[in-house]
A and B are shown apart, each in its own frame.
Chain A
C-alpha cells in the first residue's frame, strides 16, 4: 500500500509559481480585479438561480421558469427591476448610515475572493496569512448588517441587527478553531499552500469533524437557514433590511448570496482540495466543488426548520465550541505523532472519533424538545 504523503512534505516537490502570473504588477492586478468582480457577480446570479430552482424542486414547485430558457434570465430581469424601483428612506432614519450600510456589507465579501486560488498560483494575492485574512475580512460584513439594522430606525430591523451581532460573536470561535485543524495538518496559512498540501487526500477525510464544525458555523455566520434568525420572516417581518428598497435592497440580496458563495469557495479550498483534481482543468474542478458545496447548503435549507434564538446561542457555546477544541487537540496530537507524513489509518480513526463525539453530544444536548436546560 502506498504511503500517502500529505502535509508539508508534499508541498516542497511543487515549485511555487511566480506571484506575477500573467506578467507585471499592474497587469496582474487589473486581470484579477476584473476577474474576481466578474466571477462574484456572475456566480451570484447563477447561485440565485440554482437556489430558487433547486429549492422549488425540493418543495415540489416549479420555481422561476418563464423568463428566458428554463427561467435562466430571471436574475437579469430582477436586477433591471430593482434598478428602476423607487428608493424609500424612512423619515426618522439615520440617513448616512442607511446609505453606507450596503457598501460596508458588500465590499468585505468581495475582498474574501482576493486570496482564493482558482488554479495553481492563479489568485490576486498569495498572502502568507491567507486564511486568517479571510476570517478577519469576512466578519466586517456584519458591521454593515448592524449599520442597516441601526440606521433604519425600525424596531424589527434593530432586533435583526442585534441578533446578527449575537450570532457572529458566538459562531466566530468554533469557526476559527475548526480552521486551525486544517492549518495544523497543512502547516501553512496560505490558501494556495493549503490546496497544494491536499495533493493526495482532501482534508475532508483527515478532518471530518472539522469540516462539519466549519460548515455549520459558517452557515450560522452568514445567516443561512436554519440559522437565519436575523431575518426570520415570522418574527421580524424582514429583519435588518425591512426598510430597504430598490438597489440598496438588491445589494443586501447580493451580499447574502456572495457570502454563501464565499463560504462555498473557502470550504472547497480548505476541505475538498480546491483546484486539485484529475483530467479536467483546475478552474473547472474549483467551480464544480463550489457549486457542490452550495447545493449542500440549499439542501440543508430545504430540510431543517429554523432554530430559536436561545437554541442558536446554546448550540454555539455548548456544542460546537467544546467539539472544536477536542478536534483541535486530536489533530495536534496526530501531527505531533507523525510529523512527516500521516499514515492512512488516521482517516478511519478520525471518522470514528468524530462519530463518537457527535453521538455523545447529541445524547446530552437536545435542540428539538422545547427548552431543555443543559
Chain B
C-alpha cells in the first residue's frame, strides 16, 4: 500500500516541474524577443478602473471570517474524526452510532451557541 505514496510523491515533483516550465516558457521567449517587454510607469501601476490607487494595499482591515475560522476549526476536527468511524462503521453497529451521536451533539452545542451569538452573520 505504501507504494502508492511513492507514486504520489514522484507525481508531485513531475507536476511542479511541468507547472514551473509553463511559467518559465514566456521568460525564455522574452529573451529571444518573441514576447514583448516594454514596461512603463502607468502600465505597472495597480489597476483600479482608471483611478490612481490611494495608500498602501496591505493595511489592516477587519477580516470578518475570524469567527468563521474558529467555528470551522471545531467542525473540521469533528469531520476528520468521523472519517475513520465511517470506514469501520459496519463493524461498530449501533454502539458506534450512539457514540458518534454523542460526539456530534457535543460539537452541536458550540455550533448553536455560535448561531445564537450571531457569529454566523456576515456584517
Give chain A's interface residues, CB within 8 Å of chain B: 7-8, 19, 25, 28-29, 32-33, 36-37, 83-92, 99, 102-103, 106-107, 110-111, 114, 124-128, 132-133, 150, 152-156, 158, 162, 165-166, 169-170, 172-173, 176-177, 180, 183-184, 187-189, 237, 242-243, 246-248, 251, 309-310, 312-314, 317-318, 321, 325, 328-329, 332-333, 335-336, 339, 373
Which single member of B45, B49, B57, B89 contacts A335 (CB below 8 Å)?
B89
Complex Cα gap A37–B30 (Å): 26
Q: How far is the CB of A143 from chain B (nearest CB, A)?
A: 14
Does the CB pair B16–A313 fall under 8 Å?
no
Q: Known interface pairs A114-B7, A317-B120, A332-B100. Does A170 touch B68 (Cβ–Cβ under 8 Å)?
A: yes
Does the CB pair A321–B75 fall under 8 Å?
yes
Does the CB pair A172–B30 fall under 8 Å?
no
Task: List 20 extra interface pairs beyond A29-B7, A339-B93, CB under 8 A.
Answer: A7-B90, A19-B4, A37-B18, A86-B36, A86-B37, A87-B27, A87-B30, A88-B44, A106-B19, A107-B15, A125-B5, A154-B57, A155-B53, A169-B65, A172-B76, A183-B87, A310-B121, A310-B122, A310-B123, A332-B89
B26 contacts the other chain (CB 8 A): yes
Specify which chain B residues have a CB less than 8 angstroms from the CB of A247 in the assembled complex. 22-23, 25-26
Complex Cα gap A183–B44 (Å): 50
Sampled A-B contacts (28; CB under 8 Å):
A25-B6, A33-B10, A37-B14, A37-B15, A37-B18, A83-B26, A83-B29, A86-B37, A87-B30, A88-B43, A114-B7, A114-B11, A127-B4, A127-B5, A128-B4, A133-B8, A154-B48, A165-B65, A166-B68, A170-B65, A237-B47, A246-B35, A251-B22, A312-B122, A325-B104, A329-B104, A333-B97, A336-B96
Does the CB pair B115–A318 fall under 8 Å?
yes
Does the CB pair A126–B4 fall under 8 Å?
yes
Specify which chain B residues have a CB less than 8 angstroms from the CB of A187 in the assembled complex. 87, 89-90
Does the CB pair B35–A86 fall under 8 Å?
yes
Complex Cα gap A292–B3 (Å): 33
Complex Cα gap A234–B93 (Å): 52
Q: How far is the CB of A88 from chain B (nearest CB, A)?
A: 6
Among all A-B residue pairs, the 10 with the closest Cβ atoms: A125-B4, A310-B122, A125-B7, A91-B44, A176-B79, A166-B65, A183-B86, A247-B26, A313-B122, A317-B120
Does the CB pair A242–B47 fall under 8 Å?
yes
Q: Which of B32-65 contact A (CB under 8 A)?
A: 34-39, 41, 43-49, 53, 57-58, 63-65
Does the CB pair A335–B90 fall under 8 Å?
yes
Complex Cα gap A85–B8 (Å): 34
Give chain B's interface residues, CB within 8 Å of chain A: 1, 3-8, 10-12, 14-16, 18-20, 22-23, 25-27, 29-30, 34-39, 41, 43-49, 53, 57-58, 63-65, 68-69, 71-72, 75-76, 79-80, 82-83, 86-87, 89-90, 93-94, 96-97, 100-101, 104, 108, 111, 115, 120-123
Q: How far is the CB of B95 from chain A (nearest CB, A)?
A: 9
Q: How far is the CB of A123 from chain B (nearest CB, A)?
A: 9
Q: How far is the CB of A113 from chain B (nearest CB, A)?
A: 9
Does the CB pair A91–B45 fall under 8 Å?
yes
Specify which chain B residues have a CB less than 8 angstroms from the CB of A111 in the assembled complex. 8, 11-12, 15
Which single member of A107, A173, A310 contacts B72 (CB below 8 Å)?
A173
Specify which chain B residues have a CB less than 8 angstroms from the CB of A246 in the assembled complex. 26, 35
Complex Cα gap A165–B65 (Å): 9
Complex Cα gap A328–B20 (Å): 41
Specify which chain B residues have a CB less than 8 angstroms from the CB of A332 in the assembled complex. 86, 89, 97, 100
Residue of B5, B14, B30, B45 with highest tally of chain A CB at under 10 A: B14
Q: Known interface pairs A88-B44, A165-B65. Does A177 touch B3 (Cβ–Cβ under 8 Å)?
A: no
Complex Cα gap A109–B27 (Å): 24
Which single member of B11, B18, B20, B63 contacts A29 (CB below 8 Å)?
B11
Does the CB pair B122–A128 fall under 8 Å?
no
Specify which chain B residues have a CB less than 8 angstroms from the CB of A165 in the assembled complex. 65
Does the CB pair B90–A8 fall under 8 Å?
yes
Specify which chain A residues have a CB less than 8 angstroms from the CB of B123 in the assembled complex. 310
Complex Cα gap A237–B82 (Å): 41
CB nearest neighbor in A for B49: A237
Complex Cα gap A86–B29 (Å): 10
